[in-house]
Amino acid sequence: REFADRHTLGMTLLSDPGGTVRERFGVARGFSLAPTRRVTFVIGQDRTVLEVVRSELRMSAHADRALAALRG
């Protein structure tokens, strides 16, 4: 919440410290230094997945494609 408040994003962010959502969305790596794959899910107000961005190398792709999905 502190991150979202500090950056005034205007959207709800999900925190998943227990890894429940990570498991359900299939982005867990298993045993690794980075236990979660780099994936951004944009979820609409009706709870449908609007966009899925999978990129381990192009970090800017996550923001660019997520914003494009939100803008319609």
Percent of the chain with pLDDT over 90: 26
Tokens encoding 2: 């502190």
Q: CB–CB of 51/65 below 8 Å?
A: yes
Whole-angstrom Cα distance, residue 46 to residue 54? Answer: 22
Tokens encoding 55: 């990129």
> What is the pTM assigned to this prediction?
0.71
Q: CB–CB of 50/44 below 8 Å?
A: yes
Whole-angstrom Cα distance, residue 60 to residue 70? Answer: 16
* Residues of the domain holding 47: 2-71
More confident residue, 14 or 47: 47
Q: Give the CATH number of the domain where residue 51 resides.
A: 3.40.30.10
Tens-digit pLDDT profile for residues 14-43: 888 888 998 998 888 877 777 788 889 999
Q: How many domains does the chain have?
A: 1
